[in-house]
Amino acid sequence: MHESHNHHDSSAQLPVNLMIRPEDEGDANAIHHVVESAFQSKAVAEMVKSIHNTACFIPELSLVAEVSGKIVGYTMLSMTDLVDGSKIHSVLNLSPLAVAPDFQGRGIGTLLVKAALARAEQRDDAFVALEGNPDYYGRFGFEDSKQFGINFTHGGLIHRLSNYDQHIRGYIRYPAAFAEMERDQERERLSHAQ
């Protein structure tokens, strides 16, 4: 649901001087610009900023794609709740995946997802959750979450990591920043319709 890139990535078109790295303190404005331009929405960019200011944020899992010193892509794995009756598990959520419009369709989104999953695998987490296009994310090993007893409001996918525990089930409860983003996106749509 929170992705913005061309689904026809081709690694043959990757910029030669592309680097994927964790974000630095000075990257906030560039990240905001890339996310806003990729989604044509301030609301998604503001959601990213809001997550940065919560305990859900994991700095080493906030990744940028840089070409010649310019940030052209961004993704973030942050913590979200998986509610199972009276138990609450913290799980990783991939959102957003954003690539600047001029750099879409060149494999940057693919590299960001692969880098995020590689970093997630180095942790103790059970899986990475997301809402997104099953055709696009399926090639990274994401599967329909319902078959594993993981439910989302709008349907979702999970990528099982090596520490996956089949007994972990429940529904995804996003941080407040996601609900705020959805409200703000609706306001943006309404203001553009007038």
Q: Looking at per-residue confidence, does 157 or 25 come out higher?
A: 157
Position 157 scores a pLDDT of 98
Number of compact structural domains in the chain: 1
Residue 194 within a domain: no
What angle, rounded to 10 degrees, do the helices at 42-52 and 28-39 form?
140
- pLDDT at site 2: 54
Tell whether the model's pLDDT for residue 170 goes beyond 50.
Answer: yes
CA 156 – CA 35 distance, rounded (Å): 21
Residue 4 has pLDDT above 80, yes or no: no
Which of 136, 134, 139, 125 is CA-nearest to residue 152? Answer: 134
Distance in angstroms (rounded) separating the CA atoms of residues 14 and 12: 6
- Residues above pLDDT 90, as percent of the chain: 79
**Is residue 35 domain-resident?**
yes
Between the alpha carbon of residue 8 and those of residues 35, 63, 114, 141, the distances in Å are 19, 21, 16, 17
Could you tell me which residues come within 8 angstroms of residue 191 by beta carbon, excluding any fewer than 6 positions away?
none
Q: Is residue 107 part of a domain?
A: yes
In this prediction, residue 3 carries a pLDDT of: 55
**Does pLDDT of 7 surpass 70?**
no
Position 111 in a domain:
yes
Strands 150-151 and 143-144: unpaired
pLDDT for the residue 106? 94
Whether residue 117 lies inside any domain: the answer is yes
CATH number at residue 144: 3.40.630.30
Domain around 43: 3-188
The DSSP result for 44-65, as a single string, is HHHHHHHHHTSTT--GGGEEEE
Res 10: pLDDT: 46
Distance, CA of 133 to CA of 173 (rounded, Å)? 20
Residue 176 included in any domain: yes
Amino acid at 187: R
Q: Is residue 110 part of a domain?
A: yes
**Tens-place pLDDT, residues 100-153:** 999 999 999 999 999 999 999 999 999 999 999 999 999 999 999 999 999 998
Residues 6+ apart with CB under 8 A from 24: none
Contact criterion met (CB below 8 Å) for 49 and 4 = no
pTM listed for this prediction = 0.89
Residue 193 within a domain: no
Pairing of strands 62-67, 70-84: antiparallel
Higher pLDDT, 194 or 106: 106
Measure the CA dihedral 171/175/180/185, to 10°.
-60
